[in-house]
Amino acid sequence: MTGRYLPLFFLALVLSAVVSCGDQPPAESGKTTAGAEEQKVVVRIERTDPAINAIISEETTTEVIAEGFAWSEGPVWVEAEQMLLFSDVPNNTIYKWTAEGGKQIYLSPSGYTDTVSRGGEMGSNGLFLNNSGQLVLCQHGDRRLALMNAPLNDPRPEFISIADNYRGKKFDSPNDGIVLRNGDYFFTDPPYGLPGFISDPGKAAPYQGVYKVSGGTVTLLTDSITRPNGIAAFPDERSIIVANSDENKAAWYLYDLDEKNEFTNARIFYDATADAKKEKGSPDGLKIDRQGNVFATGPGGIWIFNEHAKALGKIKIDQPASNCALADDDKTLYITAGNYILRLKLR
């Protein structure tokens, strides 16, 4: 998350009409429905390479399935429960959405469990399931990667810390994470959850890090990304993409993993800095499907790349997109976009 939810939230409240997104007319458009008498979000598909047609059909539809959040983030589809979980970061709450019940509060508090009042973005952000099917949370307020100590169908705000410091220095605000098949956790740690941001007196390290947790041991993988945010692994788990949500260095970085599952061969996957100067949003959350296609939130919406970093097109959204989740064997894409949750059908 980019730490700029407040003005965007107020903007979402006053939107009352369809807003055109971008200077160019859409090459191909999907239908957008809001489940109400007026469209609240405008979505169109920008097709820059024919290969995108194998991912998103020309007849695809997009729905607003839930709304009313301060800043939605960190979606994860839970197949066993047929539910989407996502964070409302400022409100320190996780919601669930199901086709039968719509949106419901799932867990509160989700990211800050102390009773002492504090500012900043306190809630959980990124959510994912570990290899045992348990919910893992990137907790801004408690400044840790944590495990919910309760079944998915009986959630309780009881947590076990997976990692909360590196060499005695507290993390800033773990933002997004993944787990590999061998059980290693990877997560990013930008400053967005700190009340005073980078000048917060509680900031312990002078850098922003990407970390690995293996067998309880925390390893700093890189401290050179200015605003590490979204993170995802390719299906073969030999390389990882990290998003940088710095509008002055709006890029996705690619790292290979060595025999210790540590970063090597750092390089830029794609640089969208020029685009970030023209459109709302920076590289944020991302997911990679089983074919190696990358769905990455960035300037203007969701960018779609193939595994070779070729941009195939965009899901253009007139709201700031923060993250996404794949479901139904990669046939459905859920998108968190400010005040809204969107659902888009894939091929």
pLDDT tens, 207-257?
A: 999 999 999 999 999 999 999 999 999 999 999 999 999 999 999 999 999
Whether the per-residue pLDDT at 281 is higher than 70: the answer is: yes
pTM: predicted TM-score of the whole model, two decimal places? 0.90
Strands 263-271 and 251-257: antiparallel
**Between 336 and 23, residue with greater pLDDT:** 336
pLDDT tens, 25-73?
A: 333 444 444 443 356 899 999 999 999 999 999 999 899 999 999 999 9
Which residue bears the tokens 């193939």?
Answer: 306
Count of H-run helices and E-run strands, the chain: 2, 28
CB 262: neighbour CB atoms within 10 A? 16
Options 3.40.50.2300, 2.120.10.30, 2.60.120.40, 1.20.1530.20; CATH of 67-289+315-327:
2.120.10.30
Give the mean pLDDT of 286-290.
Answer: 98
> For 112-177, what is the HEC assignment?
CCCCCCCCCCCCEEEEEECCCCCEEEEECCCCEEEEECCCCCCCCCCEEEEECEECCEECCCCCCE
What CA–CA distance (Å, rounded) separates 48 from 273? Answer: 19
> Per-domain residue ranges for the chain?
67-289+315-327
Which residues neighbour 329 within 8 Å (Cβ) at sequence distance 6 or greater?
none
Per-residue pLDDT band for 326 (boundaries 50, 70, 90) equals: very high
Nearest to residue 166, comparing CAs of 206, 198, 132?
A: 206
DSSP codes, 51-106: GGGGTS-TT-EEEEEEE--SSEEEEEEEGGGTEEEEEETTTTEEEEEETTTEEEEE
What CA–CA distance (Å, rounded) separates 347 from 345? Answer: 7
Give the mean pLDDT of 8-13.
Answer: 34
Portion of the chain with pLDDT greater than 90, in percent: 86
What CA–CA distance (Å, rounded) separates 230 from 123? Answer: 17
Q: Which amino acid, one-letter code, is at 303? A: W
Per-residue pLDDT band for 120 (boundaries 50, 70, 90) equals: confident
Give the mean pLDDT of 17-30.
Answer: 34
Which residues neighbour 319 within 8 Å (Cβ) at sequence distance 6 or greater?
8, 12, 41, 337, 338, 339, 340
To the nearest whole number, what is the mean pLDDT of the chain? 90
Confidence (pLDDT) at 28: 41
Give the mean pLDDT of 257-281.
Answer: 97
